[in-house]
Copies of this chain bind each other. A is one copy, B any other.
Amino acid sequence: METPVTSTASAKNTAVLLLHCPDRPGILADVTNFITVNHGNIIYLDQYVDHVENIFFMRIEWDLTHFNIPRAKVDDYFHTLYASKYGMTYYLYFSDQRPRMAIFVSKMSHCLYDLLARYVSGEWRVDIPLIISNHPDLEPAAKRFDIPYYCLPITKDNKAEQEAKELELLHKHKVDFIVLARYMQIISEDMISAYPLRIINIHHSFLPAFVGAKPYHAAFQRGVKIIGATGHYVTADLDAGPIIEQDVVRITHKDTLQDLISKGRDLEKIVLSRAVQKHIEHKILAYNNKTVIFN
């Protein structure tokens, strides 16, 4: 890796707790108390209550330097003392455990390059152990950044078999989450259930407009004045998973289909990278097919 030019992540060892549970009085006080009493210094706290569904959401990050509870026991203590009491769904992360991300690509390179450039410049605290593709086209791009590239061509006959190999590779490389960087294949339910809410896709339209194939063609045909891109978690329902990030760009009647594709590329890569960054920073909680995004 090159000398990191920037560092959004602090150099301190910290823990992050992401949680949601039915809203009740006292949760916030209890959780902050747990950390403060044990000499954790809270450096980030944000909470949100969905008053319609009555759900409490929270993200809290604290400095571990003087924290009393041994790191290996934090999960156990928190589970016993609070998670059971409040019926919490929670996720605990430590800042020195870099998430491991696999990238899936087909033939288009713009999202891949954007991800790799951020990776080598140290923008993100992440490891990228491998790139998987159904085409050989982007192997040279992977080589430029010294990332192993596995080409597993998929036909309708070998899909199950190839996906099994992919899962093996992901397992072997201890992959935590998957980024579909314009990977033009539908992901099977096996893969999705192996990585629930841990596969991020970029769809090249403003969902739910133009679901499915060739959204730019459809947008051009419909004569819209704005096009968009959507970063979302993959679920069994095509293009219908929880939306993480969206953005749009204005077009006019002068823009050809090719112009839409060209302007869309810039949207896609930025929207995908914003979604990936939120995931890496543990700032997303998904529930009811929606997302809570912490700042």
CB distance from A154 to the nearest CB of B (A): 19
A114 partner residues in chain B, CB cutoff 8 A? 114, 117
Q: Pick the residue among B36, B47, B137, B247 that contacts A45 (CB under 8 A).
A: B47
Contact of B109 with A117 in the complex, beta carbons under 8 Å = yes
Given contacts A253-B290, A254-B48, A290-B253, is CB(A246)–CB(B224) below 8 Å?
A: yes
A244 partner residues in chain B, CB cutoff 8 A? 225
> Which A184-212 residues have a C-beta within 8 angstroms of B?
206-210
In the complex, per-residue mask of A224-247: 1 if CB is within 8 Å of any chain B CB, else 0? 111010000000000000111111
Contact of B246 with A48 in the complex, beta carbons under 8 Å = no
Q: Does A258 contact B (CB under 8 A)?
A: yes
A123 partner residues in chain B, CB cutoff 8 A? 110, 262, 265
Given contacts A8-B262, A117-B113, is CB(A226)–CB(B253) below 8 Å?
A: no
In the complex, the chain B residue whose C-beta lies closest to that of A25 is B36
Q: Does A145 contact B (CB under 8 A)?
A: yes
Contact of A291 with B223 in the complex, beta carbons under 8 Å = yes
Q: Does A155 contact B (CB under 8 A)?
A: no
Contact of A51 with B47 in the complex, beta carbons under 8 Å = no
Q: Does A85 contact B (CB under 8 A)?
A: no
> Which A21-43 residues have a C-beta within 8 angstroms of B?
25-26, 28-29, 32-33, 36, 42-43
A258 partner residues in chain B, CB cutoff 8 A? 6, 8
Q: Does A252 contact B (CB under 8 A)?
A: yes
A274 partner residues in chain B, CB cutoff 8 A? 266
Give the interface of A toward B (CB within 8 A).
2-3, 5-6, 8, 25-26, 28-29, 32-33, 36, 42-43, 45, 47-52, 107-110, 113-114, 117-118, 120-121, 123, 137, 140-141, 144-145, 206-210, 222-226, 228, 242-248, 250, 252-259, 261-262, 265-266, 270, 273-274, 288-293, 295
- What are the 5 A-B residue pairs with the smallest beta carbon separation, nearest first? A223-B290, A113-B117, A209-B209, A144-B144, A254-B295
